[in-house]
Amino acid sequence: MRQAISTVDELLALVAVDRRDLPRLEEPSAFPLRVPLSFVQRMRIATPDDPLLLQVLPLGVETNAVDGFVADPLRETGGDLGPGIISKYRGRTLLITTGACPVHCRYCFRRHFPYSESALRGAMDASLAALATLDHDEIILSGGDPLSLSNSRLERLFEGLCRLPRLRRLRIHTRFPIIVPQRVDQALLELLCRLPVPLTIVTHVNHAQEIDASVAGGMRDLRDAGATLLNQGVLLAGINAMASTQAELAEALFDIGIVPYYLHQLDPVAGAAHFRVDDDQAQTIMAELRASLPGYLVPRLVREIPGETAKTAVA
Protein backbone atom coordinates (compact mmCIF):
# COMPACT_ATOMS: atom_id res chain seq x y z
CA MET A 1 0.00 0.00 0.00
CA ARG A 2 2.97 2.31 0.61
CA GLN A 3 3.70 2.02 -3.13
CA ALA A 4 0.18 3.00 -4.18
CA ILE A 5 0.09 5.41 -7.11
CA SER A 6 -1.14 8.87 -6.16
CA THR A 7 -0.61 11.07 -9.21
CA VAL A 8 -2.22 11.04 -12.63
CA ASP A 9 1.13 11.33 -14.44
CA GLU A 10 2.58 8.34 -12.64
CA LEU A 11 -0.48 6.23 -13.41
CA LEU A 12 -0.63 7.22 -17.08
CA ALA A 13 3.08 6.48 -17.49
CA LEU A 14 2.63 2.99 -16.05
CA VAL A 15 -0.20 2.14 -18.44
CA ALA A 16 1.34 3.99 -21.40
CA VAL A 17 -1.64 6.27 -21.97
CA ASP A 18 -1.23 9.79 -23.31
CA ARG A 19 -3.23 12.57 -21.62
CA ARG A 20 -4.25 13.79 -25.07
CA ASP A 21 -6.23 10.58 -25.61
CA LEU A 22 -8.39 11.29 -22.55
CA PRO A 23 -10.91 13.94 -21.53
CA ARG A 24 -9.61 16.72 -19.26
CA LEU A 25 -8.12 15.34 -16.02
CA GLU A 26 -7.87 16.79 -12.51
CA GLU A 27 -5.53 16.25 -9.55
CA PRO A 28 -8.16 16.60 -6.80
CA SER A 29 -6.92 17.43 -3.32
CA ALA A 30 -10.02 16.00 -1.65
CA PHE A 31 -10.50 12.32 -2.52
CA PRO A 32 -7.20 12.15 -4.42
CA LEU A 33 -6.17 9.49 -6.88
CA ARG A 34 -5.11 6.31 -5.10
CA VAL A 35 -4.49 2.97 -6.75
CA PRO A 36 -2.03 0.23 -5.80
CA LEU A 37 0.29 -1.43 -8.31
CA SER A 38 -1.45 -4.77 -7.88
CA PHE A 39 -4.56 -3.23 -9.49
CA VAL A 40 -2.64 -1.19 -12.09
CA GLN A 41 -1.05 -4.42 -13.29
CA ARG A 42 -4.49 -5.65 -14.35
CA MET A 43 -5.08 -2.62 -16.59
CA ARG A 44 -4.43 -3.04 -20.30
CA ILE A 45 -1.47 -1.12 -21.66
CA ALA A 46 -2.06 1.81 -24.05
CA THR A 47 -5.83 1.56 -23.60
CA PRO A 48 -7.37 4.92 -22.65
CA ASP A 49 -10.83 3.38 -22.16
CA ASP A 50 -9.62 0.50 -20.00
CA PRO A 51 -12.46 -0.31 -17.55
CA LEU A 52 -10.14 -0.52 -14.55
CA LEU A 53 -8.33 2.71 -15.40
CA LEU A 54 -11.60 4.62 -15.78
CA GLN A 55 -12.77 3.55 -12.31
CA VAL A 56 -9.86 5.38 -10.67
CA LEU A 57 -8.94 8.23 -13.02
CA PRO A 58 -10.13 11.65 -11.80
CA LEU A 59 -11.73 13.42 -14.76
CA GLY A 60 -12.28 17.16 -14.91
CA VAL A 61 -16.06 16.64 -15.22
CA GLU A 62 -16.11 15.58 -11.56
CA THR A 63 -16.05 19.24 -10.62
CA ASN A 64 -19.24 20.03 -12.61
CA ALA A 65 -22.30 20.55 -10.43
CA VAL A 66 -25.14 18.30 -11.62
CA ASP A 67 -28.72 18.58 -10.34
CA GLY A 68 -29.56 15.82 -7.89
CA PHE A 69 -25.92 14.77 -7.30
CA VAL A 70 -25.02 15.66 -3.72
CA ALA A 71 -22.34 15.08 -1.06
CA ASP A 72 -24.37 12.65 1.07
CA PRO A 73 -26.78 10.90 -1.35
CA LEU A 74 -27.90 8.27 1.18
CA ARG A 75 -28.27 10.75 4.06
CA GLU A 76 -25.94 8.75 6.27
CA THR A 77 -24.47 11.58 8.30
CA GLY A 78 -25.97 13.23 11.32
CA GLY A 79 -27.07 10.13 13.25
CA ASP A 80 -26.07 9.87 16.89
CA LEU A 81 -26.22 6.15 17.65
CA GLY A 82 -22.51 6.07 18.54
CA PRO A 83 -19.12 6.43 16.82
CA GLY A 84 -19.31 4.90 13.35
CA ILE A 85 -22.77 3.36 13.84
CA ILE A 86 -25.45 3.64 11.16
CA SER A 87 -28.78 1.88 11.39
CA LYS A 88 -30.60 1.61 8.06
CA TYR A 89 -32.53 -1.64 8.01
CA ARG A 90 -34.24 -3.69 10.70
CA GLY A 91 -32.04 -6.35 12.31
CA ARG A 92 -28.81 -5.06 10.78
CA THR A 93 -26.43 -2.42 12.04
CA LEU A 94 -23.66 -0.89 9.97
CA LEU A 95 -20.32 -0.02 11.51
CA ILE A 96 -18.09 2.46 9.67
CA THR A 97 -14.79 1.01 10.78
CA THR A 98 -12.36 3.30 8.98
CA GLY A 99 -12.13 5.88 6.22
CA ALA A 100 -9.13 4.17 4.63
CA CYS A 101 -9.45 2.26 1.35
CA PRO A 102 -6.93 0.41 -0.80
CA VAL A 103 -8.22 2.30 -3.84
CA HIS A 104 -10.24 5.43 -4.47
CA CYS A 105 -13.15 4.58 -6.76
CA ARG A 106 -14.35 7.76 -8.44
CA TYR A 107 -18.04 6.78 -8.16
CA CYS A 108 -17.88 5.99 -4.42
CA PHE A 109 -21.04 7.16 -2.64
CA ARG A 110 -18.95 7.92 0.46
CA ARG A 111 -16.34 9.99 -1.36
CA HIS A 112 -17.37 13.05 0.67
CA PHE A 113 -18.15 11.18 3.89
CA PRO A 114 -16.81 12.96 7.01
CA TYR A 115 -14.85 9.97 8.29
CA SER A 116 -12.90 12.09 10.77
CA GLU A 117 -16.17 12.70 12.64
CA SER A 118 -18.13 9.57 11.84
CA ALA A 119 -15.82 6.54 11.70
CA LEU A 120 -14.95 4.20 14.53
CA ARG A 121 -11.38 5.57 14.79
CA GLY A 122 -10.14 5.41 18.36
CA ALA A 123 -13.59 4.98 19.86
CA MET A 124 -13.94 1.22 19.59
CA ASP A 125 -15.03 0.71 23.21
CA ALA A 126 -17.69 3.43 22.92
CA SER A 127 -18.99 1.87 19.69
CA LEU A 128 -19.15 -1.59 21.22
CA ALA A 129 -20.99 -0.24 24.25
CA ALA A 130 -23.49 1.52 21.97
CA LEU A 131 -23.91 -1.59 19.80
CA ALA A 132 -24.79 -3.63 22.89
CA THR A 133 -27.87 -1.47 23.41
CA LEU A 134 -29.22 -1.96 19.86
CA ASP A 135 -31.48 -4.71 18.60
CA HIS A 136 -29.87 -6.55 15.69
CA ASP A 137 -28.94 -10.01 14.47
CA GLU A 138 -26.23 -8.90 12.12
CA ILE A 139 -23.39 -6.40 12.20
CA ILE A 140 -22.05 -5.17 8.88
CA LEU A 141 -18.49 -3.90 8.87
CA SER A 142 -18.16 -1.19 6.28
CA GLY A 143 -15.99 1.83 5.61
CA GLY A 144 -13.82 2.85 3.89
CA ASP A 145 -12.65 -0.72 3.81
CA PRO A 146 -12.74 -2.74 7.06
CA LEU A 147 -9.76 -4.81 5.90
CA SER A 148 -7.70 -1.60 5.98
CA LEU A 149 -7.58 -2.24 9.73
CA SER A 150 -4.61 -4.23 10.97
CA ASN A 151 -5.17 -7.84 11.95
CA SER A 152 -4.60 -6.97 15.61
CA ARG A 153 -7.24 -4.23 15.49
CA LEU A 154 -9.64 -6.54 13.69
CA GLU A 155 -9.04 -9.18 16.33
CA ARG A 156 -9.97 -6.72 19.06
CA LEU A 157 -13.04 -5.65 17.14
CA PHE A 158 -14.18 -9.24 16.47
CA GLU A 159 -13.74 -10.13 20.15
CA GLY A 160 -15.92 -7.20 21.18
CA LEU A 161 -18.56 -7.89 18.53
CA CYS A 162 -18.78 -11.57 19.39
CA ARG A 163 -19.58 -10.67 23.00
CA LEU A 164 -22.73 -8.85 21.85
CA PRO A 165 -25.58 -10.94 23.20
CA ARG A 166 -27.81 -10.88 20.13
CA LEU A 167 -25.25 -11.21 17.36
CA ARG A 168 -26.05 -14.09 15.00
CA ARG A 169 -24.16 -13.12 11.85
CA LEU A 170 -21.24 -10.95 10.83
CA ARG A 171 -20.82 -9.38 7.43
CA ILE A 172 -17.77 -7.63 5.94
CA HIS A 173 -18.10 -5.35 2.94
CA THR A 174 -14.69 -5.16 1.32
CA ARG A 175 -12.89 -4.47 -1.94
CA PHE A 176 -9.44 -5.14 -0.42
CA PRO A 177 -9.07 -8.82 -1.47
CA ILE A 178 -9.83 -7.74 -5.04
CA ILE A 179 -7.55 -4.72 -5.15
CA VAL A 180 -4.68 -6.20 -3.07
CA PRO A 181 -5.21 -9.99 -2.92
CA GLN A 182 -2.18 -10.36 -0.63
CA ARG A 183 -4.32 -8.87 2.15
CA VAL A 184 -5.84 -12.32 2.60
CA ASP A 185 -2.92 -13.48 4.73
CA GLN A 186 -2.61 -16.37 7.13
CA ALA A 187 -3.20 -14.26 10.22
CA LEU A 188 -6.44 -12.86 8.78
CA LEU A 189 -7.65 -16.33 7.80
CA GLU A 190 -6.98 -17.63 11.31
CA LEU A 191 -8.98 -14.76 12.77
CA LEU A 192 -11.90 -15.49 10.47
CA CYS A 193 -11.78 -19.21 11.21
CA ARG A 194 -12.16 -18.50 14.92
CA LEU A 195 -15.36 -16.46 14.53
CA PRO A 196 -18.17 -18.17 16.42
CA VAL A 197 -20.90 -16.82 14.10
CA PRO A 198 -21.47 -17.29 10.34
CA LEU A 199 -19.47 -14.85 8.24
CA THR A 200 -20.51 -13.32 4.92
CA ILE A 201 -17.99 -11.39 2.87
CA VAL A 202 -19.51 -9.07 0.29
CA THR A 203 -16.92 -8.24 -2.32
CA HIS A 204 -17.09 -5.36 -4.77
CA VAL A 205 -16.12 -6.29 -8.33
CA ASN A 206 -17.36 -4.35 -11.34
CA HIS A 207 -15.58 -6.02 -14.24
CA ALA A 208 -14.25 -9.50 -14.99
CA GLN A 209 -10.84 -7.99 -15.75
CA GLU A 210 -10.45 -7.29 -12.01
CA ILE A 211 -10.27 -11.04 -11.36
CA ASP A 212 -6.95 -12.83 -11.80
CA ALA A 213 -5.34 -15.96 -10.35
CA SER A 214 -4.26 -14.15 -7.23
CA VAL A 215 -7.79 -12.88 -6.51
CA ALA A 216 -9.09 -16.40 -7.13
CA GLY A 217 -6.59 -17.81 -4.62
CA GLY A 218 -7.66 -15.31 -1.96
CA MET A 219 -11.31 -16.19 -2.49
CA ARG A 220 -10.58 -19.90 -2.20
CA ASP A 221 -8.84 -19.22 1.13
CA LEU A 222 -11.75 -17.11 2.38
CA ARG A 223 -14.21 -19.86 1.45
CA ASP A 224 -12.00 -22.42 3.21
CA ALA A 225 -12.14 -20.15 6.27
CA GLY A 226 -15.91 -20.60 6.25
CA ALA A 227 -17.04 -17.36 4.60
CA THR A 228 -20.03 -17.13 2.27
CA LEU A 229 -19.01 -14.94 -0.66
CA LEU A 230 -21.39 -12.53 -2.39
CA ASN A 231 -20.64 -9.70 -4.79
CA GLN A 232 -22.18 -6.31 -5.21
CA GLY A 233 -21.16 -4.19 -8.17
CA VAL A 234 -22.21 -0.82 -9.49
CA LEU A 235 -23.60 -0.25 -12.98
CA LEU A 236 -21.23 2.28 -14.49
CA ALA A 237 -21.39 4.04 -17.85
CA GLY A 238 -18.25 3.44 -19.89
CA ILE A 239 -17.17 0.54 -17.69
CA ASN A 240 -19.69 -2.28 -17.42
CA ALA A 241 -23.00 -1.03 -18.84
CA MET A 242 -23.38 -3.81 -21.39
CA ALA A 243 -25.13 -7.16 -21.02
CA SER A 244 -22.13 -9.05 -22.41
CA THR A 245 -19.81 -7.37 -19.86
CA GLN A 246 -22.18 -8.16 -17.00
CA ALA A 247 -22.57 -11.77 -18.17
CA GLU A 248 -18.81 -12.20 -18.33
CA LEU A 249 -18.51 -10.74 -14.82
CA ALA A 250 -21.20 -13.04 -13.41
CA GLU A 251 -19.49 -16.11 -14.89
CA ALA A 252 -16.06 -15.00 -13.67
CA LEU A 253 -17.37 -14.38 -10.15
CA PHE A 254 -19.07 -17.75 -9.96
CA ASP A 255 -15.92 -19.47 -11.27
CA ILE A 256 -14.12 -18.29 -8.12
CA GLY A 257 -16.95 -19.09 -5.72
CA ILE A 258 -18.69 -15.71 -5.48
CA VAL A 259 -22.43 -15.37 -6.06
CA PRO A 260 -23.39 -12.24 -8.05
CA TYR A 261 -25.77 -10.71 -5.54
CA TYR A 262 -26.55 -7.05 -6.21
CA LEU A 263 -26.00 -4.74 -9.14
CA HIS A 264 -26.48 -1.21 -7.83
CA GLN A 265 -27.75 1.74 -9.73
CA LEU A 266 -25.29 4.55 -9.06
CA ASP A 267 -25.92 6.54 -5.89
CA PRO A 268 -26.13 10.19 -6.95
CA VAL A 269 -22.99 11.45 -5.31
CA ALA A 270 -21.45 14.75 -6.38
CA GLY A 271 -18.61 14.16 -8.83
CA ALA A 272 -19.89 10.87 -10.27
CA ALA A 273 -22.71 11.93 -12.61
CA HIS A 274 -20.72 10.87 -15.69
CA PHE A 275 -21.06 7.23 -14.55
CA ARG A 276 -24.88 7.34 -14.52
CA VAL A 277 -26.85 4.76 -16.53
CA ASP A 278 -30.56 5.48 -16.95
CA ASP A 279 -33.12 2.97 -15.72
CA ASP A 280 -34.35 2.07 -19.21
CA GLN A 281 -30.87 1.08 -20.33
CA ALA A 282 -30.33 -0.79 -17.05
CA GLN A 283 -33.57 -2.72 -17.59
CA THR A 284 -32.55 -3.67 -21.10
CA ILE A 285 -29.24 -4.99 -19.81
CA MET A 286 -31.03 -7.02 -17.13
CA ALA A 287 -33.49 -8.49 -19.64
CA GLU A 288 -30.59 -9.63 -21.83
CA LEU A 289 -28.83 -11.08 -18.79
CA ARG A 290 -31.91 -13.02 -17.72
CA ALA A 291 -32.21 -14.40 -21.24
CA SER A 292 -28.63 -15.60 -21.34
CA LEU A 293 -27.74 -16.80 -17.81
CA PRO A 294 -29.22 -19.18 -15.25
CA GLY A 295 -31.18 -17.27 -12.62
CA TYR A 296 -28.60 -17.74 -9.87
CA LEU A 297 -26.02 -15.85 -11.95
CA VAL A 298 -28.24 -12.80 -12.46
CA PRO A 299 -27.68 -10.16 -9.78
CA ARG A 300 -30.62 -8.14 -8.47
CA LEU A 301 -30.71 -4.64 -9.90
CA VAL A 302 -31.34 -2.30 -6.97
CA ARG A 303 -30.94 1.25 -5.78
CA GLU A 304 -30.73 2.56 -2.29
CA ILE A 305 -33.31 5.17 -1.39
CA PRO A 306 -32.74 6.95 1.93
CA GLY A 307 -35.46 6.15 4.45
CA GLU A 308 -36.69 2.95 2.72
CA THR A 309 -36.83 -0.23 4.79
CA ALA A 310 -34.74 -2.19 2.27
CA LYS A 311 -32.96 -1.73 -1.02
CA THR A 312 -35.42 -0.97 -3.80
CA ALA A 313 -35.62 -3.23 -6.85
CA VAL A 314 -35.35 -1.22 -10.07
CA ALA A 315 -38.45 -2.41 -11.88
Which of 42, 171, 175, 274 is the binder for ligand SF4 (CB under 6 A)?
175
Q: Is 108 in the site for ligand SF4 (CB under 6 A)?
A: yes
Q: Is 51 in the site for ligand SF4 (CB under 6 A)?
A: no
**CA dist list (Å): 109 to 72, 74, 116, 117, 304:** 7, 8, 16, 17, 11
DSSP 119: S
Which of 50, 62, 145, 210 is the binder for ligand SF4 (CB under 6 A)?
145
Q: Is 56 in the site for ligand SF4 (CB under 6 A)?
A: no
Q: Is 105 in the site for ligand SF4 (CB under 6 A)?
A: yes
**Interface with ligand SF4 by CB under 6 A: which range of 80-88, 100-108, 122-130, 131-139?**
100-108
Q: Kindly give the residue spans of alpha helices, DSSP state H, lying in 176-237.
A: 176-179, 186-193, 213-224
CB of 99 to ligand SF4, least distance (A): 9
Beta-ladder partners of 51: none
Q: Which of 153, 156, 163 is nearest to 129 (CA)?
A: 163
Site string for ligand SF4, 64-83 (x = CB under 6 A): --------------------
195: Cβ contacts below 8 Å, ≥ 6 apart: 158, 162, 170, 226
Q: Is 143 in the site for ligand SF4 (CB under 6 A)?
A: yes
Residues in region 203-222 near ligand SF4 by CB under 6 A: 204
DSSP 45: T
Give the count of beta carbons closer than 10 Å to the beta carbon of residue 106: 21
Q: Is 5 in the site for ligand SF4 (CB under 6 A)?
A: no
**Radius of gyration of the chain, Cα coordinates, nearest whole angstrom:** 19
Beta-ladder partners of 172: 141, 201
CB of 104 to ligand SF4, least distance (A): 5
Closer CB to ligand SF4, 164 or 211, in the complex: 211
Residues in region 110-129 near ligand SF4 by CB under 6 A: 110
What is d(CA 134, CA 93) in angstroms, rounded to the nearest whole number? 8
Q: Is 103 in the site for ligand SF4 (CB under 6 A)?
A: yes
* Contacts with ligand SF4, residue ranges (CB under 6 A): 101, 103-105, 108, 110, 143-145, 175, 204
